């Protein structure tokens, strides 16, 4: 039996109406470019073509203010960040210790131009101050050299340390005999992460401070005298372990 022509016309008209009004009815998913405007306490962004910031859920982990991302609009659930735009690669990682650890290791993409590592940490060792140290690629070869300037109270002194050392000094953190709420903090900057080789070794600068033993601050820089491409960084206290609550992050461009 042939189909009812009137029923076919009605069905076609209904389908066409659904297609034409799919966006208004919330029946479509849409991928849109956007710019992150806020990351705390919630992530917000402005979708291209709009003017107001809206809350989103990130499916790719941490993002940063100003980052260009792709968002998936799924009515009525909301917006979800599903990728970042390939206008340079950004890398972010973070570790917050829930139990003591002898070291912290970050695996870092080799194509990053520059890398920053930051920390707020404390050692379990029974002393006021404990050195925090660093190794590249887990190497304990005698390839580290560091120059520091230390301020302690009103005194200032500079020195060359770790000459042909097996790890690099990057400052001090507190030990267990210091005030319980006092941690050491600092940052390390690698300016040429992606280019080391026989003609250009990996270099870094650092800044560190800890308000114990009269106030202690280090600034300085160092070199990893190896032609090997860097791919990870290990941080560890010279004695004891990092206690729970110690926090570390890395970000790169």
State the CATH number of the domain containing residue 169: 2.60.120
The pLDDT of residue 67: 80
Q: With 0-12 CB in 10 A as exposed, 13-18 as middle and 19+ as buried, what is 123? A: buried
The pLDDT of residue 233: 98
Q: Which of 205, 168, 209 is nearest to 185 (CA)?
A: 209
Is 12 among the domain residues? no
- Token pair in block for residue 29: 């998913």
This prediction has a pTM of 0.69
The conformation of residue 229, written as its DSSP 8-state character, comes to P
Question: Is 132 in the same domain as 79?
Answer: no
Residues 120, 133: Cα–Cα separation, whole Å: 13
* Positive or negative torsion for Cα 37, 97, 94, 123: positive
Question: Is 38 in the same domain as 70?
Answer: yes
CB proximity list for 117: less than 8 A, separation 6 or greater = 106, 187, 188, 190, 233, 235, 248, 249, 250
In terms of residue numbers, what domain contains 219?
91-252
The conformation of residue 67, written as its DSSP 8-state character, comes to -
Residues 131, 141: Cα–Cα separation, whole Å: 19
The pLDDT of residue 30: 82
Per-residue pLDDT in tens (0 to 9) along the chain, 253 residues:
455 666 555 656 655 654 566 556 555 678 899 999 888 889 999 999 899 999 999 998 888 777 888 999 888 778 999 987 765 567 888 999 999 999 999 999 887 889 999 999 999 999 999 999 999 999 999 999 999 999 998 899 999 999 999 999 999 999 999 988 999 999 999 988 988 777 789 999 999 999 987 889 999 999 999 999 999 999 999 999 999 999 999 999 8
Question: Is 67 in the same domain as 99?
Answer: no
The pLDDT of residue 213: 79
- How many C-beta atoms lie closer than 10 Å to residue 178's C-beta? 21
Question: Is 209 in the same domain as 166?
Answer: yes
Domain boundary among 62, 87, 112: 87
The pLDDT of residue 104: 98
For residues 201, 118, 101 and 211, what is the CA-based torsion angle, rounded to 10 degrees? 120
The pLDDT of residue 201: 94
């Amino acid at each position: 039996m042939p189909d009812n022509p009137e029923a076919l016309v009605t069905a076609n008209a209904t389908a066409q109406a659904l297609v034409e009004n799919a966006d208004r009815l919330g029946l479509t998913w849409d991928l849109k470019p956007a710019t992150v405007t806020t990351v705390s306490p919630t992530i917000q962004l402005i979708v291209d073509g709009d003017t107001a910031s809206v809350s989103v859920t990130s499916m790719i982990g941490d993002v940063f203010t100003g980052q260009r991302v792709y968002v998936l609009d799924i009515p009525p659930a909301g917006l979800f960040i599903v990728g970042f735009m390939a206008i340079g690669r950004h890398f972010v990682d973070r570790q917050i210790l829930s139990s003591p650890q002898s070291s912290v290791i970050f695996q870092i993409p080799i194509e990053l131009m520059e890398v920053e590592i930051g920390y707020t940490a404390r050692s379990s060792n029974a002393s006021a101050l404990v050195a925090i140290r660093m190794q590249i690629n887990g190497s304990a070869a005698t390839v580290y050299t560091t120059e520091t300037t230390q301020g302690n109270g009103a005194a200032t002194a500079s020195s060359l340390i770790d000459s042909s050392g097996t790890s690099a000094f990057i400052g001090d953190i507190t030990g267990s005999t210091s005030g319980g709420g006092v941690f050491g903090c600092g940052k390390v900057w690698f300016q040429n992460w992606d280019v080391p080789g026989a003609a250009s070794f990996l270099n870094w600068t650092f800044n560190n401070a800890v308000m114990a033993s009269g106030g202690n601050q280090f600034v300085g820089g160092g070199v990893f005298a190896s032609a090997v491409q860097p791919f990870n960084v290990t941080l560890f206290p010279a004695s004891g372990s990092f206690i729970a609550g110690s926090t570390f992050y890395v970000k790169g461009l």
